[in-house]
Amino acid sequence: MPDTNGENGNGKKKRVMFIYGTRPEAIKMASLIKRMQESDVLEPIILVTGQHREMLDQVNELFKITPDIDLNLFKPGQTLNTLSSRILAQLDPVLDEHKPDAVLVQGDTTTVAIAAIASFYREIPVIHLEAGLRSGNIYSPFPEEANRKIAGQVTALHLAPTQMSKDNLLREGIHESIIAITGNTVIDALLHTVALPQKFTDPRLTELASSDAKVLLLTTHRRENWGKPMERIARAVARIAESHPEYTVVFPAHMNPVVRDVIFPLIKDYPNVIITEPLNYEEFTHLQGIADIVLTDSGGVQEEAPSLGKPVLVLRLNTERPEAVEAGTVKLVGTDEDVIVEEVTKLIEDRTHYAEMAMATNPYGDGHAAERAVAAIAALLGVGTRIPDFGAA
């Protein structure tokens, strides 16, 4: 019987088209692409939609991944519908031309939902990486909860990161035989990157890293936080910067002007606030490493910071990533200004509470997700066998 390292019966590798468009998808696909490039039975074809541009290219450059196809369809101020229609129209002829044996999508962006539908309509099996995350509310996160459910409906192989995500899929009636628990590939990327020597391009961060200042790391971009909630987040951060000068707030800003226009004016004039362009993944990982507290509405950061033993206050009222909340490293604080100030102050002033939250925990992966994913994909395509799930005894 052929396996992932053996010969494929007809001597030709099965071709898996990776379709992605944004920063987090690129980060979470990197280890899998690298692994598949080494396979004797599978071959990756890399297609980027270009839903993001600079923030996507930054990751591909870091991991030395060169797309085979770039739809380059990014347009500033793109709406969900204009973006979706461009993806659908431009993807179809490419799928028809390349006829991959499977398409792999990751996560819950618009690129994911639309690429999954386009592939399904072409009768190409869809593989969903990071399958089964659920908040239980299709309006939060919006539109991500719906996007991942849509992708899940047409998926032939669900690569769930954890037992909890697998359980969500089972509850929706998905058959156990088409689910593999791989761990989250974000931990593969994190463990690889955090081990690299620490360096910052921005001299303000180099100076910060060698100073006594404590770091409060802020990221925010979620669509449901646009406008007033983001304004409240910024006001809270400004109050903390003012009352705790021993802390430096670092805000690597998402490129979206909707985010920048609200946040910048409210925090930029504090001497202990550093606003940067999006950091490359390596530098952002090192920034998480030197942070004392992380304040975020990001999905990926909720997974990474607990692995680094950093208390995370999540600027949302629900999460599809409950594992680290249960472990105690992540707390949902929402976007009420007073509540954010209160929770950050508690972490700053009550170090027993801090120590309880700062317990490193790895519920999302062990750094071997890509190996499990490649084996499960090879099994799906009849050229290999699975290896034991993440967390299997």
Active-site amino acid positions: 108, 130, 144, 221, 223, 254
The reply on whether position 281 binds ligand UDP by CB under 6 A is yes
Among ligand UDP, ligand UD1, none, partner that 284 touches (CB below 5 to 8 angstroms by kind) = ligand UDP
- DSSP assigned state of 189: H
Task: Convert residues 54-83 into a mask of x (bound to ligand UD1 by CB under 6 A) and - (unbound).
Answer: xxx-------------------xxx-x---
Given candidates 299, 311, 365, 384, which one binds ligand UDP under the rule CB under 6 A?
299
Given candidates 14, 28, 35, 52, which one binds ligand UD1 under the rule CB under 6 A?
52
Answer for the pair 154, 126: CB distance below 8 angstroms, yes or no.
yes
Helix/strand/coil percentages in the chain, nearest 5: 45, 15, 40
Burial class (CB in 10 A: 0-12, 13-18, 19+), 225: buried
Closest CA relative to residue 336, chosen from 223, 238, 231, 252: 231
| Footprint on residues 9-48 left by ligand UD1 (CB under 6 A) | 22-24
> Using alpha carbons only, how large is the chain's radius of gyration in Å?
21
Min CB(231)–ligand UDP separation in Å: 19
Closest CA relative to residue 132, chosen from 165, 161, 180: 165
Among ligand UDP, ligand UD1, none, partner that 173 touches (CB below 5 to 8 angstroms by kind) = none
Closest CA relative to residue 374, chosen from 129, 196, 118: 129
The reply on whether position 134 binds ligand UD1 by CB under 6 A is no
Neighbours of 21 (CB within 10 A): 27
Is the CB of 101 or the CB of 145 nearer to ligand UD1?
Answer: 145
Among ligand UDP, ligand UD1, none, partner that 84 touches (CB below 5 to 8 angstroms by kind) = none
* Tokens standing for residue 13: 């590798």
Given candidates 60, 298, 307, 329, which one binds ligand UDP under the rule CB under 6 A?
298
Alpha helices in 122-218 (DSSP H): 144-153, 163-171, 185-194, 203-209
Task: Convert residues 257-296 into a mask of x (bound to ligand UD1 by CB under 6 A) and - (unbound).
Answer: x---------------------------------------
Answer for the pair 232, 335: CB distance below 8 angstroms, yes or no.
yes
The reply on whether position 194 binds ligand UD1 by CB under 6 A is no
């071709």: which residue's tokens? 15
- Site for ligand UDP (CB under 6 A): how many residues? 16
Calculate the CA dihedral of residues 139, 141, 143, 149 and round it to 10 degrees.
-90
Measured CA to CA, the distance from residue 50 to residue 56 in angstroms comes to: 7
- In one letter, which amino acid is 45? I
Given candidates 18, 200, 284, 390, which one binds ligand UDP under the rule CB under 6 A?
284
The reply on whether position 219 binds ligand UDP by CB under 6 A is yes
| Interface ranges with ligand UDP (CB under 6 A) | 23-24, 27, 186, 219, 221, 252, 278-279, 281, 284, 298-301, 304
| Interface ranges with ligand UD1 (CB under 6 A) | 22-24, 51-56, 76-78, 80, 108-110, 143-144, 221, 255-257
